[in-house]
């Protein structure tokens, strides 16, 4: 029996941070053992908001894929490639855009939200409005059954399902209706307590050196109500404790929680212990990353092979689409 197909992607933003690793990437590493996975660098999506700043896209692609492989994605178990290297995406996107009602795109909640958030940029463009169709294309061209998303992205999957239903109704049943794959993953806060993000400059890169990791941990916000070392602490509001729950053993986390609540461990010691754990955890990832940086042809080969495999699947889907639409 064939495996279900999973498709997911990221915009090429360059080197990723630890929040990305503990969120999407750790999840992807698990999924590659259970599904037929297509993990895509969606560089055309980057143009929807960064069309004026294209000079860094190539290098950002390379650095991001190095992070993917270093964290554990295995090109022997999944397809890793760049969206623009599979031109079939462009053709299917054009065809699906012809049948997608404008009102479907205008009602998309993320469209309205981003217009407000990015009001200083000139993004009131055809490409930005239509990016959910491009996203649907990325999913449907591989006939993905499952799409790993967070709750905030489920509207995109539902729109993809509507586009698939509309195509199947107008022509012939070609596309499955993909389902959102809700998976549990750890959400790490930034060092200031807000969501970890490059926009907030509160992140720790996957590639950060041991010295940088230790410095960043020193800057982490702790329990604001705790003034002295022997004051009872409140771990649930402490950034450092949040990181311990990810990088420490469960039994040690419980011990640390109790010691903090009793004022038996200070924030300085707690941060030092965390930094040691993080450095040890990241060391093998850094070693693999260093090897990949020193051997750029490995990444080239992975992306070329992934794109070649993806083109075969994508072209087969397009042949079915053209046949259903009675087109040459």
What's residue 119's pLDDT? Answer: 62
What's residue 11's pLDDT? Answer: 95
Structural domain count of the chain: 2
Q: Does residue 255 have a pLDDT over 60?
A: yes
Within a domain: residue 50? Answer: yes
Mark whether 69 and 153 lie in a shared domain: yes
Across the range 170-178, mean pLDDT stands at 97
Please state, in angstroms and rounded to a whole number, the distance separating the CA atoms of residues 125 and 144: 28
Please state, in angstroms and rounded to a whole number, the distance separating the CA atoms of residues 160 and 150: 15
**CATH classification of the domain holding 156:** 3.40.50.620
Beta bridge partners of 36: 5
Mark whether 16 and 106 lie in a shared domain: yes
Mark whether 152 and 220 lie in a shared domain: no
Of 118-132, 224-238, 273-287, 299-313, minimum mean pLDDT range:
118-132
Coil, helix or strand at residue 308: helix
Whether the Cβ atoms of residue 193 and residue 239 lie closer than 8 Å to each other: yes
Within a domain: residue 182? Answer: yes
Please state, in angstroms and rounded to a whole number, the distance separating the CA atoms of residues 292 and 278: 21
Model confidence, pTM = 0.93
Across the range 163-189, mean pLDDT stands at 90
Beta bridge partners of 40: 9, 81
What's residue 108's pLDDT? Answer: 80
Mark whether 43 and 184 lie in a shared domain: yes
Compare 147 and 199 and report the one with higher pLDDT. 147
Q: pLDDT band at 115, cuts 50/70/90?
A: low
Please, which residues have CB within 8 angstroms of residue 177's CB and are 6 or more apart in sequence?
Answer: 161, 164, 165
Mark whether 165 and 18 lie in a shared domain: yes
Across the range 220-237, mean pLDDT stands at 89
Mark whether 109 and 255 lie in a shared domain: no
Mark whether 306 and 266 lie in a shared domain: no
Within a domain: residue 199? Answer: no
Mark whether 48 and 171 lie in a shared domain: yes
Task: Compute CA distances 208 → 70, 201, 325, whole Å.
Answer: 13, 14, 51
Extract the annotated binding site for ATP.
Answer: 11-13, 19-20, 150-152, 188, 195-199
Q: pLDDT band at 1, cuts 50/70/90?
A: very low
Within a domain: residue 315? Answer: yes
What's residue 225's pLDDT? Answer: 87
Extract the annotated binding site.
Answer: 11-13, 19-20, 138, 150-152, 188, 195-199
Q: What mean pLDDT is reported for the chain?
A: 92
Whether the Cβ atoms of residue 303 and residue 310 lie closer than 8 Å to each other: no
Mark whether 104 and 39 lie in a shared domain: yes
Extract the annotated binding site for L-tryptophan.
Answer: 138
Within a domain: residue 162? Answer: yes
Within a domain: residue 125? Answer: yes
Within a domain: residue 200? Answer: no
Within a domain: residue 197? Answer: no
Q: Which domain holds residue 315?
A: 5-188+296-324
Mark whether 135 and 20 lie in a shared domain: yes
Whether the Cβ atoms of residue 43 and residue 57 lie closer than 8 Å to each other: yes
Q: pLDDT band at 228, cuts 50/70/90?
A: confident
Please state, in angstroms and rounded to a whole number, the distance separating the CA atoms of residues 137 and 318: 11
Compare 211 and 52 and report the one with higher pLDDT. 211
């Amino acid at each position: 029996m064939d495996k279900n197909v999973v498709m997911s992607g990221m915009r090429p933003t360059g080197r990723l941070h630890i929040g990305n690793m503990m969120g999407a990437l750790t999840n992807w590493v698990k999924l590659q053992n259970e599904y037929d996975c297509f993990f895509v660098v969606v560089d055309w999506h980057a143009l929807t908001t960064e069309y004026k700043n294209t000079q860094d896209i190539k290098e950002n692609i390379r650095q991001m894929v190095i992070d993917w492989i270093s964290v554990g994605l295995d090109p022997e178990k999944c397809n890793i490639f760049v969206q623009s290297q599979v031109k079939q995406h462009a053709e299917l996107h054009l065809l699906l855009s012809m049948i997608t009602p404008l009102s479907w795109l205008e009602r998309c909640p993320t469209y309205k939200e981003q217009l407000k958030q990015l009001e200083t940029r000139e993004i009131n463009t055809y490409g930005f409005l239509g990016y959910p169709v491009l996203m649907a294309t990325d999913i449907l061209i591989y006939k993905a059954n499952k799409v790993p998303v967070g709750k905030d992205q489920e509207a995109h999957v539902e729109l993809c399902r509507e586009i698939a239903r509309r195509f199947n109704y107008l022509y012939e049943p070609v596309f499955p209706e993909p389902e959102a794959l809700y998976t549990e993953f750890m959400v790490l806060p930034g060092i200031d307590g807000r969501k970890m993000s490059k926009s907030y400059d509160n992140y720790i890169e996957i590639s950060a050196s041991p010295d940088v990791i230790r410095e960043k941990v020193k800057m982490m916000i702790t329990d604001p109500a705790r003034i002295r070392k022997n004051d009872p602490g409140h771990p649930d509001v402490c950034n450092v404790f949040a990181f311990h729950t990810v990088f420490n053993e469960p039994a040690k986390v419980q011990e640390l929680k109790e010691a903090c609540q009793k004022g038996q461990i200070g924030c300085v010691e707690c941060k030092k212990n965390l930094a040691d754990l993080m450095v040890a955890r990241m060391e093998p990832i850094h070693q693999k990353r260093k090897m990949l940086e020193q051997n750029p042809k490995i990444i080239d080969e992975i992306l070329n092979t992934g794109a070649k495999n993806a083109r075969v699947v994508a072209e087969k889907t397009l042949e079915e689409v053209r046949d259903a639409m009675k087109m040459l």
